[in-house]
Chains A and B, each alone.
Chain A
Amino acid sequence: MMEGMSYGRAPRARKVDFGLLLSYLFLVLYGWLNIYSAVYSEEHASILDFSQRYGLQFIWIMISFGVAIILLYIISPKNLAPLSPLFYLAMLVLLAAVIFLGKEVNGSRSWFFIGSFGFQPAEFSKITTALLLSFIMSRYGFSLSNRKDAVKAALVVLVPILLIVMEKETGSALVYLGLILVFYMEGLAGWVIVLGLSLIAMFVLTIALSPLTAIVCALSAACIIRFFLSRRLVWLLTAIPVIVLICYIPKLSALESLGFLKALKPQVWALILFVPHFILWVRDFLAKRDERGSGRLILSLMCAVAMVFSVNFIFTKVLQPHQRARIENLFGITEDLQGIGYNVHQSKIAIGSGGLVGKGFLNGTQTKYNFVPEQSTDFIFCTVGEEWGFVGSIVLLAVYIFLILRIIHLASRNQDSFSRIYGYCVASIFLMHVVINIGMTMGLLPVIGIPLPFLSYGGSGMMSFTILLFIFIRLDMERQNRDADLV
C-alpha cells in the first residue's frame, strides 16, 4: 500500500492491549481490597468511608482512571516527547526544592504537602527520567559505544538519583539502578551486568560469610570461567573434585596427629591452591599467550577482590546506621526482633501464617492490631500473604511478571525506538519495585521502603505508576495503528 493513500482514510479503531489493561485493573482492585482489609475495623465498616485509607485510595483510583483515559484517547505522549527535557528539568527543580521546602516524614525530606494531601516528586520523576532517557537514546545517531552519548545517557539517570539520595530516599534511588537493563537492551555489553551482579554477590558473601570466603569464591569462579572459555572442560571436571577433596582433607578425623593442618580453614587451603594458578595465568596473559576474554576476566577478578576490601568502608562510611542495621539483620548478624528486625519478623509471621489458601478476606489476625507496621503501604504484601495464602500470592506474582514480560515483549516489537526504549524503562522500574518490595517483606532483601506498584496505599504512587504504564499502552496503541497502516 502506498504511503500517501492512508491520509484520506478515517482513523482506525485503536486497540488497547487487553493483557496490560486487565492486569492493571486486577492489581488496582486487588490492592484496594487488601488495603481495606489491612485498615479494616468494625467502627468504619463501609468500604467507601473517606476518612479511612481505603476510602481515600478509592478516590486516587478514580482519579488515576481519569488520567489513564486522557492518556489513551486525548493527549498523545508521542507529541509530548520533544518536551521531555522540559519536564525533566522541571522535575529536577522540584526534586531539589523538596530537600529545602519539603516536610520531613520518617527521616526523609521528600514530601510536599498541599493541605492534607502529600505529593512525592521522587515518584513522578521516574516518568520524566524515563521519557528523557527514551528521547535522548532514540535520537538519530545515538550510540552507547560513543563515549559522549553514553555519558549523556548516564547523567540523565544519575542526576535524579543524586537528588533523591539527598532527600534520604535511598530506596527510591535504588529503583533507578534498574534502568541499567535499558542500556543492556540497547547495546551495553552483557559482561557489565554480570560484573555488576558479581560485585553485589561479593558484597553479600563478604558480609554473610567472610572476606576470605568471598575471595576464594571469586578466584574459583574466575578459574572456572577461564576453563569454560578455553574449552578445557575435562580438565575442569577433574580439577574441581580434587581441589575440594584437598581442601577438606585436614578436616578428616584420621589426621589427629597433624593438628596444625586441621586448624587451617578449607578456604585457606583453597587460596593456597588457587593463587599460584592465578599468578601463572597473569604471566601467560602478559606474555600474550592466553586466550581471548582473559583480560576482562582478570580485571573483573581484581574488581571483585577490591570490592571485598572496600566492603568495610562502604558498610561503615557510606551506609547510614539504619541501613547498616537492616543489612546486618538480613544476614542474621544481629538479631533484634524487638527493634530493627521487628518489621521483617512480623511480616514473615504474617505471610507464613497464611499457609496454602490463606485465612480469607478480612480474617487475617497478623495484619490487624498493628503487629506489622506500614501494613497498608510498603508491607501490603503481608496482607496478601496472610489472607490469600500461597495461591493468592503466587497469582499476584504471576500477574506482575506477566505485566513486565508483556511490556518487554510489546516494546521489543515496536519499530519506533522512542516507544521501545520507553517500554524497557517502564519494565525495569516495575521489576525493581516488585522484586525489592516482595523480597523485603519475605526477608530476602534488606528493608528498603518502596511501594508495591498499584497495591500499596498512596496517591503519588498510584498516579505515577498509572501514568508510567498508560503512556506505554498508548505508545503501543500507536504502534498497532502504524503496523496496521503498513499492511
Chain B
Amino acid sequence: MDKKVLLTAGIIIVAICLAARLFYLQIIDERYKVNANNNALLYQTKYPARGEIRDRNGNILVGNKTTYDIMVTPIDLREFDTVDFCLTFHIDIDNVRKKLKYYRENRRKIGYQTFTFIKQVPSEYYSHFAEKAYKFPGFYAISRTARVYPYNAGASLYGYINEADSAYLADNPEYRRGDYVGITGIERSYEDVLRGKKGYNIMVRDVHNRIRQSFRNGEMDVEAEPGKDLTASIDGSLQQYGERLMQNKVGSIVAIEPSTGEILAIVSAPGLTVEDLSNIRKEYGRLVMDPYKPMFNRAVMSAYPPGSVFKTVNALIAQQMGVINPETRFSCSRGFYYAGGKMGCHGHRSPLNLKESIMMSCNAYYANVFRAMMKNPDHQPISEAFDYWKEQVMKFGIGTKLGSDFPAELQGNLPSTKTYDKIHGKGRWNAFNILSLAIGQGEVGATPLQIANVAAIIANKGYYIIPHLIKDAPDSLRRAKYTEKHWVGVDKEHFDPVIEGMYLAVNAPPGAGGTSRRAYISDIEVCGKTGTAQNPHGRDNSVFMCFAPRENPKIAVCVYLENSGAGGTWAAPVASLIVEKYLKGEVERKDLEQYVEQANLKANVPVKRKK
C-alpha cells in the first residue's frame, strides 16, 4: 500500500480520536458542566449551632447565643465612612485603618479572597450594621453561635471551645480554619456529638468574580445541621452548691450516684468561672499564671495520698484473701512498733475488731493487716505478695485511669515492685519498708474521682460503673461502656463489716470514738470514712469519703481539701452538706453551712508565685 495514504489515514484516525474525546467532554458528559459551576460558584459556609448541654433535671447548663462574624472581601471594598463603621461595632479605628492599609498594599496577593474582619459581634451591634450594610460594600456578616452558661457553675467540667489551631487542623482534615472545636472538658470528649454539620449557601459569581445572586434560588443550598444536645449527669444546683462551699478552699468534691456511675457534681477549687469560659481568649494568660492553677482540674488530675480512707480497701482485700475476718483483733498502744520504727496512732480503746478499726481509724490495726497480706503464705516471696495486692487494688480503679468521659483524667499513682527495687535494692525490702501503704500514705496517690469511686464500690457492695458526666451519649459504644458493671473481686459479705464501721464512724454516740461525727445528719444514715493525709507542703490534707443512705445508697461523695487539717474537721462537714443538699434538696443546717462557707482554708496552702 502507498505509505503516504497509510500515514494520512493514521493521522486522520488520531484526529478523529481527539475529536471524539472533545465531543464526549463538551457535548455528552454532563459531569463536567456541573463541576464547572462548582468553580464559578461561591460556597458561603453556614455554621451549625453547637449542641446544648442540660443537667439531669433538664436545666440548661451550656446554651447558645447568636453572634456574628463580619467578613470582608477586600477587592469589593469601596470608600466608606470608617468612623461610622467603627461606631457601629464599637471598635478601635486605628486597628481598622491598619487592616485596610494591609489589604491595599497586598491586594495582588489577596486577589478574591475573603477574610474575617471582626469576630463574635453581638447581635445588637449586628442589627445596627444590617440597617446600613449598603454603606459598606465588601463587608457582610455570617452568623456564628457563642456559648452561654445560665448556671454559674461547672465551668471546669464543660471545658471551653476555641478556633482549631494548626496542629489540630493537621490531625483532623475535616475541620477548616475558623471552625470552633472543644479544647477541654465535655466540649472536647463529646466534640463529635456537639459539633453538628456545616451547611452552605451557593452564590453565583460572574466572570469578574462578583457575587451575583443565589444559585437556582437556593434550591441546592444545604442547611447547617445543629449539633445534638447532651444531658449531663450533673445536678446543676448541687454543682452550684458545691462550688459555693468550696470558695476560699483548695481541693475537690466529687459526688457519684453509685448505682449508675453518674457524676452528680464535680468541683475543683479554685476553678474556672463561666465568665472565664466565655472570654477564654482574653483570660487565658491570667488563668495560666494564677498560682492556684484554676485550669488544673484537681478532681480528676491530682494524685493525692488517700490517707485513712484507703484502709477500707485494705480491709476488703485482706478479708477476701482470708488473712483476717470480721472478728480479727489487733492491739494498739498508741501506735504500731516494729524493728527500726513506729507508726503512731491516736488514743482509743484496744484491741479493736474490724468494724471498730474502721470506725476509729486505727493505724496499728492496718499495719498488722498489711503485714499479714505481705506475709500471706499463698503468695511468697514478698514481691509476689505485693504484686497480688496491687492487682486487687487496681480492681478498685486506683492507679489506673477509670476511663471517664473527662478527657484530662489521670491515673494517679500505685507503686510496683520495681519502684521498691529501685529504692531499696532488689530483694532488700520487706513489709515494714512499705508499711505506709497500709494507711494510704507513701507511694500511693489517688484522684478524688477515684476515691469517690471507692465509696461507690462500697455502697454497691462490690462493683462500680465507670463514673461519667453524660447520661445520653448517642453512640452505643459509649453507652455500653458506661453501663457495664466492673466487679472488684471481693465477696458481698465482706462489705458488711466495713459498711458497719463507716456507719458507726458517723453515727456512733458522741464519745464512742467515731472519727466522723461532723458528717452526722439526724435523718439520713450516712456511712463515712475520714482521712488525714500527710502533706509534705504544710498542714495535712483533709479527706472524707461517704455514701448515703446506708440502704439503697443514692450518693457517694469524696471531699478532699488541701492543707486543711484532720479529715473530720473540714472535709466531713462539707461532704455531709453535699449529701443533705442532694437528698433533701434544701439544707436545714444553716449554721453549719455558713460555718463551712465562710472558712478560708486557702490561706494555709503554700503557693509558688510565678514571676
B23 within 8 A of A: yes
Instruction: Tell me whether A442 and B27 are in contact in the complex, defined as CB-CB below 8 angstroms, given that A349-B39, A353-B36 are known contacts.
Output: no
B7 within 8 A of A: yes
Annotate A414-430 by CB proximity to B: 1 below 8 A, 0 otherwise: 00000000000000000
B477 within 8 A of A: no
Across the interface, which residues of A come within 8 angstroms of B37, CB to CB? Answer: 353
Across the interface, which residues of A come within 8 angstroms of B8, CB to CB? Answer: 405, 408
Across the interface, which residues of A come within 8 angstroms of B32, CB to CB? Answer: 348-349, 351-353
A397 within 8 A of B: yes
Please state if A389 and B26 are interface contacts (CB–CB under 8 Å). Answer: yes
B343 within 8 A of A: no
Task: Specify the main secondary structure of chain B where it touches its partner.
Answer: helix
Across the interface, which residues of B come within 8 angstroms of A409, CB to CB? Answer: 4
B142 within 8 A of A: no
Across the interface, which residues of A come within 8 angstroms of B167, CB to CB? Answer: none
State in angstroms the CA–CA spacing of A405 and B5 once bound together: 10
Across the interface, which residues of B come within 8 angstroms of A368, CB to CB? Answer: 207, 209
Please state if A363 and B23 are interface contacts (CB–CB under 8 Å). Answer: no
State in angstroms the CA–CA spacing of A30 and B26 once bound together: 20
Please state if A397 and B36 are interface contacts (CB–CB under 8 Å). Answer: no
B22 within 8 A of A: yes
Q: A365-B207, A393-B26, A397-B22 are in contact. List 19 more A-B contacts (CB 8 A).
A: A42-B208, A181-B7, A184-B3, A185-B4, A349-B36, A351-B25, A356-B26, A366-B39, A366-B40, A368-B207, A369-B111, A385-B22, A390-B22, A390-B27, A397-B19, A412-B4, A435-B14, A435-B18, A442-B18
Task: Specify the main secondary structure of chain A where it touches its partner.
Answer: helix
Provide 26 A-B residue pairs closer than 8 Å at the C-beta atoms, listed in order of the A residue.
A42-B208, A184-B7, A185-B7, A190-B3, A190-B6, A349-B36, A351-B22, A352-B29, A353-B37, A355-B26, A356-B26, A362-B207, A366-B40, A368-B209, A385-B22, A389-B26, A390-B22, A390-B27, A393-B22, A394-B22, A397-B15, A405-B12, A431-B11, A435-B18, A442-B22, A444-B21
B33 within 8 A of A: yes
Partner of A390, one of B14, B23, B36: B23
Partner of A394, one of B11, B12, B19: B19
Most A Cβ at <10 Å: residue of B18, B26, B32, B207: B26
B113 to chain A, nearest CB (A): 11
B19 to chain A, nearest CB (A): 6
Across the interface, which residues of A come within 8 angstroms of B95, CB to CB? Answer: none
| Complex A-B, nearest 7 residue pairs according to Cβ-Cβ distance, in ascending order | A352-B32, A353-B36, A365-B40, A390-B26, A352-B25, A349-B35, A401-B15
State in angstroms the CA–CA spacing of A366 and B206 once bound together: 11
Across the interface, which residues of A come within 8 angstroms of B31, CB to CB? Answer: 352
B6 to chain A, nearest CB (A): 7
Please state if B7 and A408 are interface contacts (CB–CB under 8 Å). Answer: yes
B112 within 8 A of A: yes
Interface of chain A residues 340 through 395 with chain B (CB within 8 A): 346, 348-356, 362-366, 368-369, 371, 385, 389-390, 393-394
B334 within 8 A of A: no
Across the interface, which residues of B come within 8 angstroms of A350, CB to CB? Answer: 36
State in angstroms the CA–CA spacing of A349 and B25 once bound together: 8
Across the interface, which residues of A come within 8 angstroms of B112, CB to CB? Answer: 369
State in angstroms the CA–CA spacing of A142 and B448 once bound together: 99
B205 within 8 A of A: yes
Across the interface, which residues of A come within 8 angstroms of B6, CB to CB? Answer: 190
Partner of A444, one of B11, B18, B35, B207: B18
State in angstroms the CA–CA spacing of A438 and B37 once bound together: 23
State in angstroms the CA–CA spacing of A349 and B7 once bound together: 33
Across the interface, which residues of B come within 8 angstroms of A364, CB to CB? Answer: 207
A305 within 8 A of B: no
A285 to chain B, nearest CB (A): 26
Annotate A50-67 by CB proximity to B: 1 below 8 A, 0 otherwise: 000000000000000000
A449 to chain B, nearest CB (A): 18
Across the interface, which residues of B come within 8 angstroms of A349, CB to CB? Answer: 32, 35-36, 39
Annotate B194-231 by CB proximity to A: 1 below 8 A, 0 otherwise: 00000000000111110000000000000000000000
Interface of chain B residues 4 through 60 with chain A (CB within 8 A): 4, 6-8, 11-12, 14-15, 17-19, 21-23, 25-27, 29, 31-33, 35-37, 39-40
Please state if A352 and B4 are interface contacts (CB–CB under 8 Å). Answer: no
State in angstroms the CA–CA spacing of A401 and B26 once bound together: 20
A404 within 8 A of B: yes
Across the interface, which residues of B come within 8 angstroms of A366, CB to CB? Answer: 36, 39-40
Across the interface, which residues of B come within 8 angstroms of A184, CB to CB? Answer: 3, 7
Instruction: Tell me whether A351 and B4 are in contact in the complex, defined as CB-CB below 8 angstroms, given that A364-B207, A365-B205, A369-B112 are known contacts.
Output: no
Interface of chain A residues 218 through 259 with chain B (CB within 8 A): none
Which residue on chain A has the smallest CB distance to residue B206? A365
Annotate B404-427 by CB proximity to A: 1 below 8 A, 0 otherwise: 000000000000000000000000
State in angstroms the CA–CA spacing of A363 and B36 once bound together: 13
Instruction: Tell me whether A352 and B39 are in contact in the complex, defined as CB-CB below 8 angstroms, given that A390-B27, A412-B4 are known contacts.
Output: no
State in angstroms the CA–CA spacing of A455 and B24 once bound together: 23
Across the interface, which residues of A come within 8 angstroms of B40, CB to CB? Answer: 365-366
State in angstroms the CA–CA spacing of A346 and B38 once bound together: 11
Interface of chain A residues 45 through 95 with chain B (CB within 8 A): none
State in angstroms the CA–CA spacing of A405 and B12 once bound together: 9
A400 to chain B, nearest CB (A): 8
Instruction: Tell me whether A401 and B11 are in contact in the complex, defined as CB-CB below 8 angstroms, given that A190-B6, A442-B22 are known contacts.
Output: yes
